[in-house]
Amino acid sequence: MLTSVVKDGKSLGEMIRSRQQSLEAREAARLQEITFGTIRWSLRLDAVVSQLLKKPMRNKDTDVKVLLWQALYEIIYMRTPDYAVVSSYAALTNKMRKGWAKSLVNASLREFLRSREQLLANADASPPSRHSVPEWLYSSVSRDWPDQAEACLLSFNKKAPLVLRVNTQQLSRDDYLAELTAADIDAAVAQLGNDSIAVSSGVRVEALPGFEQGQFAVQDSAAQLAAELLKPAASERVLDACAAPGGKTAHLAGLQPGIHLTAIDNDAHRLTRVEENLQRLGHDGVTLHCADAADLSSWWDDVPFNAILLDAPCSALGVLRRHPDIRHLRRDTDINVLAATQLRLLKTLWPTLARGGRLVYVTCSILKQENQQVVAEFLRGQADAAEVDIDATWGLKCQHGRQILPGQHNSDGFYYAILARQ
Ligand SMILES: C[S@@+](CC[C@H](N)C(=O)[O-])C[C@H]1O[C@@H](n2cnc3c(N)ncnc32)[C@H](O)[C@@H]1O
């Protein structure tokens, strides 16, 4: 699976989820720890591996390089006994039908055990390796957030808390907290979001009280601000333009059941998850379209919306701590393309907004190019658009909108701007 992330750009989360279904809880948790941990630290581990190899590994042997990352992860971060790691990972090369690599793996790991401190010190001498991020990402964060860069980079590699949003159509946050306490689960109100709870006990989501009944959704506390900022009012027509997997759609539907909510996504597979989530939480009456939001003729009935949520496709660098594979899946060249898509979506959707209506622009990116620069460019070209100040204490006020950096408020990184049509 790790090789598929690195070579084929596959998402680790999706691969893991299907594999975990056939495992018992303890094994599923161990699989998650090893794979997510290895990918999280892969660029630091790679800086060690490249010192251990006499020449770079050939592309077709990426799996052997990944095997070394994983073995080193177990030694450094999981404290698996050294001898067990060396013998079992060397033996794995036979299972991979790469018996030729057995002595290489064996010798490399033994060399690491002999010179561990020096090898790690060499790797950590380079700041991008020390933080286990590609150089372009290190430079972008340092350029955009010089004062916060170190804290932001450190929080990329911390494990994210499990955060829930209580379905207040069913019960209050206090009532659900009491249910958790009664079930002996450590939990407390999270720093952001009116209905959020951070769970500190290591429990499977499906095993939490009220999962089947839809008493809560899993949603980071910073993500919960989107629907709160849009503040849907009864009988308004509301559009969720990029909806899947439906975290914010469900929040909008739960905040104000009297709205006429339309949710769109251009990915049919992801849209089925919106349906499942709405069903579990008991929100019906949402109109779903599988369509390109920018192709108005394919889905819009020409009746304007009072409020639009544009949770635009983005680099997702703000959620790197939850999706550590993003450091391999994203390239610096993606950012220009994403910023162009974000601006195009904003411009195309604008005419669907009623005069006097508002649009909340959201990304889970932390790069200015995808956030305030998109909004600035949009405002320059749109005479009937005005920014509405976000009256809040969270995050950082930007030239346009507000930015939450990963780790601030113990939440993911998110960007928000509110635009009103005059
Ligand atoms: C950041 S995610 C949305 C997350 C979602 N709002 C939530 O809270 O669960 C962005 C979504 O936009 C969708 N998307 C990308 N381009 C789109 C387009 N042109 N039209 C509609 N959806 C699009 C992607 O499939 C993806 O599901």
Distance 313 CA to ligand 1 centre (A): 5
pLDDT for the residue 203: 85
Residue by residue, DSSP assigns 228-265 as HHH---TT-EEEESS-TT-HHHHHHHHH-TTSEEEEEE
| CATH 1.10.940.10 domain locations along the chain | 2-127
User: Average pLDDT in the 159-182 region?
Assistant: 97
User: Average pLDDT in the 185-192 region?
Assistant: 96
2-127 belongs to CATH 1.10.940.10: yes
Tokens 């009746």 belong to: 303
86 lines ligand 1 (CB under 6 A): no
Nearest ligand 1 atom to the CA of 313 is: 10
pLDDT for the residue 201: 80
pLDDT for the residue 17: 87
> Considering the entire predicted model, what is its pTM?
0.96
> Which residue, by CA, sits nearest to atom 11 of ligand 1?
242
Answer yes or no: are the C-beta atoms of 416 and 406 closer than 8 Å. Answer: no
User: Is a pLDDT exceeding 90 seen at residue 26?
Assistant: no
| CATH 3.30.70.1170 domain locations along the chain | 162-218
Q: Which of 351, 372, 377, 348 has the alpha carbon at shortest distance from 361? A: 372
Distance CA 135, CA 139 (A): 6
Which one of 239, 242, 415 would you pick to mutate in the ligand 1 pocket, going by the greatest count of ligand atoms within 8 A of its CB?
242
pLDDT for the residue 416: 98
User: Average pLDDT in the 176-187 region?
Assistant: 96
313 lines ligand 1 (CB under 6 A): yes
pLDDT for the residue 194: 98
Q: Which of 289, 295, 226, 281 has the alpha carbon at shortest distance from 263? A: 289
Distances 7 to 3, 183, 262, 329 between C-alpha atoms, Å: 6, 43, 37, 10
Nearest ligand 1 atom to the CA of 223 is: 8
pLDDT for the residue 279: 97
User: Average pLDDT in the 233-262 region?
Assistant: 97
User: pLDDT category, 232, cuts 50, 70, 90?
Assistant: very high
Q: What would the two tokens of residue 106 be?
A: 């064996």
Nearest ligand 1 atom to the CA of 345 is: 19
Q: Around Cβ 116, how many Cβ atoms within 10 Å?
A: 15
Q: Around Cβ 377, how many Cβ atoms within 10 Å?
A: 16
Tens digits of per-residue pLDDT, 308-340? Answer: 999 999 999 999 999 999 999 999 999 999 999
Distance 396 CA to ligand 1 centre (A): 25
Distance 244 CA to ligand 1 centre (A): 6
Distance CA 261, CA 284 (A): 10
Answer yes or no: are the C-beta atoms of 249 and 274 closer than 8 Å. Answer: yes
User: Average pLDDT in the 196-224 region?
Assistant: 94
Q: What is the fold, at CATH topology level, of the domain defined by 225-421?
A: Rossmann fold (3.40.50)
Tell me which long-range contacts 127-130 makes (C-beta under 8 A, separation of at least 24): 128/43, 129/43, 129/44, 129/46, 129/47, 130/44
Answer yes or no: are the C-beta atoms of 9 and 1 closer than 8 Å. Answer: no
User: Is a pLDDT exceeding 90 seen at residue 262?
Assistant: yes
Distance 105 CA to ligand 1 centre (A): 42
Range in 18-27, 41-50, 114-123 with the lowest mean pLDDT: 18-27
pLDDT for the residue 5: 97
Tens digits of per-residue pLDDT, 358-405? Answer: 999 999 999 999 999 999 999 999 999 999 999 999 999 999 999 999
| CATH 3.40.50.150 domain locations along the chain | 225-421
Give the CATH architecture of domain 162-218. 2-Layer Sandwich (3.30)
Provide the percentage of residues in the chain whose pLDDT is more than 70: 100
Provide the percentage of residues in the chain whose pLDDT is more than 90: 95
User: Average pLDDT in the 289-302 region?
Assistant: 97
Average model confidence (pLDDT) for the chain? Answer: 97
Tens digits of per-residue pLDDT, 94-127? Answer: 999 999 999 999 999 999 999 999 999 999 999 9
pLDDT for the residue 324: 97
Distance CA 358, CA 365 (A): 21
412 lines ligand 1 (CB under 6 A): no
Supply the residues annotated as catalytic.
364
User: Average pLDDT in the 150-172 region?
Assistant: 96
Distance 241 CA to ligand 1 centre (A): 7
